[in-house]
């Protein structure tokens, strides 16, 4: 039996985290720990449901967010440490390390923000999902698919620990690939000077800038899709090269859909969205991208379905987020596996199952990469 098979059995036979992180929040109130990007995003959502924290704790940042004061860890009142619930809004550091930090201060009830979002507004923000009705044979299939790359297997198992049991289990031999997302991923082939990049969920253009750096600004075309009003404005102000920018949403059909706007990188298609936008499928564009990136807040699987002919015809490198819905556990990699002569990789770029990405690399480009010594 393979080592990963033993670990999979261990995961499936393990109990869910106790005490249950989705249990009732303290009636005395709650506090956010972390005032960075995730903390600000958390405040956007909490403001929408009119349920703000008593205060925010951060080691470095000071001031206020939406009128809520930010204090230092050492300023937490002693009486609060045992009666309030503390939610960690950080995904760039190991969760167990952050838990221990707060526990050492005397804070008793410590959980992750994704547990709060799953408890209060799972429809608005789905990142806190916990896998349900998943079959062992499905997980085994994906692990066999990833077996060619030890890093991918280790990260997928870590992903399963979090999504199935809400436990952070880190393999020290295969650390989280922080700051190595998308074009910095170790599996990515060397880019040529004639690449055509389709960026689904372009946000403020960070991934486009990375693409430009990797190609030394020598490329054929960039298509950027960003339906969020504020993100689109910033994107257009920050990117001015040979780029076609669209305010449409990517989907599996050309349609008119509801969209949840003005939540920065958490804006998404949603039945509860605050306005309607046009959607298009990638196949309807009749383009030939050599690289596709999909970061579309839970619609990744549907967008891939609408890209079938394009992928089959153009054989692009594909980079797709896996942490926004349960599709990331089986449906997305299973769909990618149908395309002939692709190698599938899976990397975690943050902790708590966050920034999880599948990389589908055409084998003909994977060979070029290895011949040039990119992977050791």
Q: What is the pLDDT of residues 180-206, one digit of tens each?
A: 999 999 999 999 999 999 999 888 889
- Taking Cα atoms as reference points, which of 158, 104, 90, 112 lies closest to residue 329? 158
Query: Worst-scoring range by mean pLDDT, 12-16, 94-98, 270-274, 316-320?
Result: 270-274
| Distances from the Cα of 376 to the Cα of 3, 357, 363, angstroms | 22, 21, 17
pLDDT of amino acid 374: 47
Predicted confidence at residue 375, as pLDDT, reads: 45
Q: Find the CATH number of the domain harbouring 36.
A: 3.40.50.720
pLDDT exceeding 90 applies to what percent of the chain?
75
Confidence (pLDDT) at 376: 39
227 and 294 belong to one structural domain: yes
Average pLDDT over residues 157-166: 97
Q: How confident is the model at residue 136 (pLDDT cuts 50, 70, 90)?
A: very high
Of 199, 182, 209, 206, the residue nearest 356 (C-alpha): 182
Q: How much is the average pLDDT of 84-109?
A: 97
Domain that holds residue 77: 30-120
Q: How confident is the model at residue 48 (pLDDT cuts 50, 70, 90)?
A: confident
Q: Looking at residue 262, which CATH number applies to its domain? A: 3.40.50.150
- Stated pTM of the model: 0.92
Q: Quote the pLDDT of residue 121.
A: 83
The answer to whether residue 22 sits within a structural domain is no
On whether residue 277 sits in a domain, the answer given is yes
Q: At residue 232, does pLDDT exceed 90?
A: no
Number of domains in the chain: 2
Q: 364: which 2 tokens? A: 């003909």
Span 108-127, pLDDT tens digits: 999 999 999 998 988 777 78
Give the C-alpha separation, 158 to 162, whole Å: 7
Regarding whether 270 and 176 lie in a shared domain, the answer is: yes
In a domain, 323, yes or no: yes
Query: pLDDT tens-digit profile of 355-367?
Result: 999 999 999 998 7
Any idea which of 12-16, 39-43, 99-103, 236-240 has the lowest mean pLDDT? 236-240
Q: Where a domain ends, among 93, 120, 147?
A: 120
Percent of the chain with pLDDT over 70: 93
Question: What per-residue confidence (pLDDT) applies to 193?
Answer: 94
Instruction: Please give the backbone phi and psi of residue 269, each rounded to the nearest 5 degrees, phi first.
Output: -65, 135
Closest CA to 103 of 111, 92, 114: 111
What are the backbone dihedrals phi and psi of residue 16, each rounded to the nearest 5 degrees, phi first?
Answer: -65, 150
pLDDT for the residue numbered 150: 97
Does residue 239 register a pLDDT over 90?
A: no
The more confidently predicted of residues 274 and 106 is: 106
pLDDT class of 254 with cuts at 50, 70, 90:
confident
CB 90 within 8 A of CB 71: no
Average pLDDT, the chain: 91
Residue 276 is predicted with a pLDDT of 80
How large is the average pLDDT for residues 323-352? Answer: 97
Out of 120, 150, 182, a domain closes at 120
Question: What is residue 253's predicted lDDT score, i.e. its pLDDT?
Answer: 83
- Domain for residue 15, yes or no? no
**In a shared domain, residues 254 and 330:** yes
Going by pLDDT thresholds of 50, 70 and 90, the confidence category of residue 270 is: low
- Least confident segment among 50-54, 79-83, 131-135, 228-232: 228-232
Q: Give whole-number Cα distances, 98 to 58, 71, 86, 107, in Å.
A: 12, 17, 11, 11
- 197, 331, 332 from 267: Cα distances, Å: 22, 22, 21
* Residue 141: CB atoms within 10 Å: 15
Domain assignment present for 127: no
Residue 371: is its pLDDT beyond 70? no
3 state SS of 212: helix
- Per-residue model confidence (pLDDT) at position 189: 96
Residue 34 pLDDT greater than 70, yes or no: yes
- Residue 24 forms part of a structural domain: no
Mean pLDDT value across residues 9-14: 98
97 and 176: one domain?
no
Q: Which of these three, 89, 120, 151, is where a domain ends?
A: 120
Q: Indicate whether 25 belongs to any domain.
A: no
Is there a domain that residue 225 lies in?
yes
State yes or no: pLDDT of 222 exceeds 80. yes
pLDDT at site 140: 98
pLDDT given at position 93? 95
Instruction: Say what the pLDDT of residue 261 is.
Output: 58
List CB contacts of 104: < 8 A, sequence separation 6 or more: none
Pair 77, 150 in one domain: no
């Amino acid at each position: 039996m393979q080592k990963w098979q033993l670990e999979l059995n261990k995961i499936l036979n393990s109990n869910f985290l106790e005490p249950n992180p989705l249990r009732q929040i303290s009636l005395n109130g709650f506090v956010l720990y972390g005032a960075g990007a995730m903390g600000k995003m958390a405040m956007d959502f909490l403001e929408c449901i009119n349920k703000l924290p008593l205060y925010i704790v951060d080691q470095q940042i000071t001031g206020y967010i939406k009128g809520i004061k930010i204090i230092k860890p050492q300023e937490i009142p002693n009486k609060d440490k045992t009666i309030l619930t503390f939610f960690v809004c950080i995904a760039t550091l190991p969760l167990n390390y952050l838990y221990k930090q707060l526990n050492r201060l005397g804070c008793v009830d410590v959980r992750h923000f994704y547990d709060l979002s799953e408890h209060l507004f799972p429809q608005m923000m789905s990142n806190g999902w916990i896998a349900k009705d998943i079959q062992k044979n499905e997980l085994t299939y994906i692990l066999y698919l990833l077996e060619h790359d030890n890093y991918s297997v280790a990260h997928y198992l870590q992903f399963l620990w979090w999504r199935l049991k809400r436990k952070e289990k880190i393999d020290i031999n295969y650390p989280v690939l922080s700051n190595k997302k998308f074009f910095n991923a170790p599996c990515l082939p060397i880019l040529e000077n004639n690449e055509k990049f389709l960026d689904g969920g372009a946000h403020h253009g960070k991934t486009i800038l990375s693409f430009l750096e990797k190609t030394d600004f020598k490329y054929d075309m960039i298509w950027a899709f960003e339906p969020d009003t504020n993100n689109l404005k910033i994107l257009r102000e920050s990117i001015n090269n040979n780029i076609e920018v669209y305010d449409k949403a990517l989907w599996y059909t050309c349609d008119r859909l509801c969209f949840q706007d003005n939540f920065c990188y958490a804006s998404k298609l949603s039945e509860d969205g605050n306005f309607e936008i046009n959607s298009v499928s990638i196949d309807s564009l009749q383009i030939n991208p050599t690289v596709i990136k999909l970061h579309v807040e839970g619609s990744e699987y549907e967008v891939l379905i609408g890209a079938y002919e394009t992928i089959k015809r153009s054989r692009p490198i594909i980079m797709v987020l896996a942490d926004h819905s349960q599709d990331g556990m089986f449906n997305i990699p299973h769909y990618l596996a149908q395309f002939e002569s692709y190698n599938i990789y899976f990397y975690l770029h943050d902790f708590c199952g966050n920034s999880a990405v599948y990389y589908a690399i055409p084998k003909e480009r994977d060979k070029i990469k290895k011949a040039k010594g990119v992977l050791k």
